[in-house]
Structure formats: structure tokens, C-alpha cells
Chain A
Amino acid sequence: AQKVTQAQTEISVVEKEDVTLDCVYETRDTTYYLFWYKQPPSGELVFLIRRNSFDEQNEISGRYSWNFQKSTSSFNFTITASQVVDSAVYFCALFFTGGGNKLTFGTGTQLKVEL
């Protein structure tokens, strides 16, 4: 079964703290893609990153970083020095080549960054 699990429903941090959002996935495919999206209160989904299954290099983009570990089927997302504007729901998603072009979403993690 193809599945994405985001066990953290809600996380609250104080501004400038680092925070890691967990994502664990299940797939039988050897070729797949993993995504992270941000959904601010306005509702639109903002693309953050796409990573294919053959590229396990970690990635850093400004305050954002991603840790892809195939051995544990995880694709975790860390925000360094969080800011209030980071408050949003974050979704992890999986695309696999045998899945009819569909994205499978996790249940999302609500991040609240307070002053």
C-alpha cells in the first residue's frame, strides 16, 4: 500500500526555535517522488521541494532543510530559526510511477510559531 504518515498533528514553537516535521512513507515502487507543500491560512498550496527516490542527498534552502533516509522511509523537514510567517499546515506527499499520476498526501502538520 502507498501511504504517507505525518504523525505530528500540531506543533507549537517559539520564534527562533528550530523545528522538525516528520514524514514517513510506504511504497512498493523503487521509483517515486516525495514532496513537501506549505498551506498558509489563505489556503493555497505552496510547493517547497520535490525529491526523487534515487537522490538521497540532503538539501538546504535558506532556513529550510530536508533529510531523506530511504533506510527508514523518512523525508523529514526542518525549519531553522522559525518565524511567525512559517505558521501554516505542512503536507508531505508521495508520487509513485505506478500510481496513475496521483499524489498521495499525508494528513498534514499544523505548525504554530509564536512570538
Chain B
Amino acid sequence: GAVVSQHPSRVICKSGTSVKIECRSLDFQATTMFWYRQFPKKSLMLMATSNEGSKATYEQGVEKDKFLINHASLTLSTLTVTSAHPEDSSFYICSARFRNNYGYTFGSGTRLTVV
């Protein structure tokens, strides 16, 4: 149980285009989802927290207009990287918190390459 599906696993896009990454909780309802970014050989950096039906809370230094987060239902959150540039290339990973539980499960990650 408590599976989070993240798609796509890999994406290559051209500079200036937008890319959408989906994170779905398959067998539970996730009131809160989190989006992380991970640089090579580095830890996970929390970008934002998304709560179903409300605006995402972004961490300091994360551009809200570049990284658009939508959490329209209890099972789906999306991260859209707008007007992507090569410096946005990274590994993005989502996480969902179980309802009323202190458990977290992670998606399999998306490797974004902007050329």
C-alpha cells in the first residue's frame, strides 16, 4: 500500500518550453504532497508543499512563477517547470504524506534535462 506514481521518469525538453510532472497517490488520499529537487550527489532540497485545494507553500528562494504547483485533488499534484532553462536540469521527486499518519512515501523521481 501507499504507492506514489510519478511521471514521466525522464524528460528532455528544449530551452524555453514548459514541462509538467505528475505525482499520483494510487491507493490512498494524500492531503499534503511535497516537491523536492536533487542535484547530483546532493541531498533533497524541498521546493514546495502543496495542500489539496489550496495554494502551494514555497520554500525560500524557489521561484513560484517558474515552478507552478497544482494540487487539485487528493490523489494528484503536478509540478510545471515553465520556460525551462539548462540550469533547471535536475532530478525532481515528489512525496505524499498519508492522511492522519506520519508516513511519507516517495515517487520514483523525474530526471529533467533541458537542452
User: Which residues on A are within 8 Å of B, measured CB to CB?
Assistant: 33, 35, 37, 42-45, 47, 50, 52, 91, 95, 100-103, 105-108, 110
Instruction: Given the known inter-chain contacts A33-B102, A52-B102, A95-B102, please indicate yes or no for A44 contacting B108, CB distance below 8 A.
Output: yes
B67 CB contacts on chain A under 8 angstroms: none
Q: Are A91 and B102 in contact (CB under 8 A)?
A: no
A103 to B94, CA, bound (A): 12
- How many residues of chain B are within 8 Å of chain A by beta carbon? 22
Question: Which stretch, B19-27, B41-49, B69-77, touches the partner chain A?
Answer: B41-49
A52 to B109, CA, bound (A): 27
Instruction: Given the known inter-chain contacts A100-B49, A103-B34, A107-B43, please indicate yes or no for A50 contacting B103, CB distance below 8 A.
Output: yes
A103 to B35, CA, bound (A): 11
Additional A-B contact list (9), CB under 8 Å, known A44-B106, A47-B103, A103-B46: A43-B91, A43-B111, A44-B93, A47-B104, A101-B32, A102-B49, A105-B43, A105-B44, A106-B43
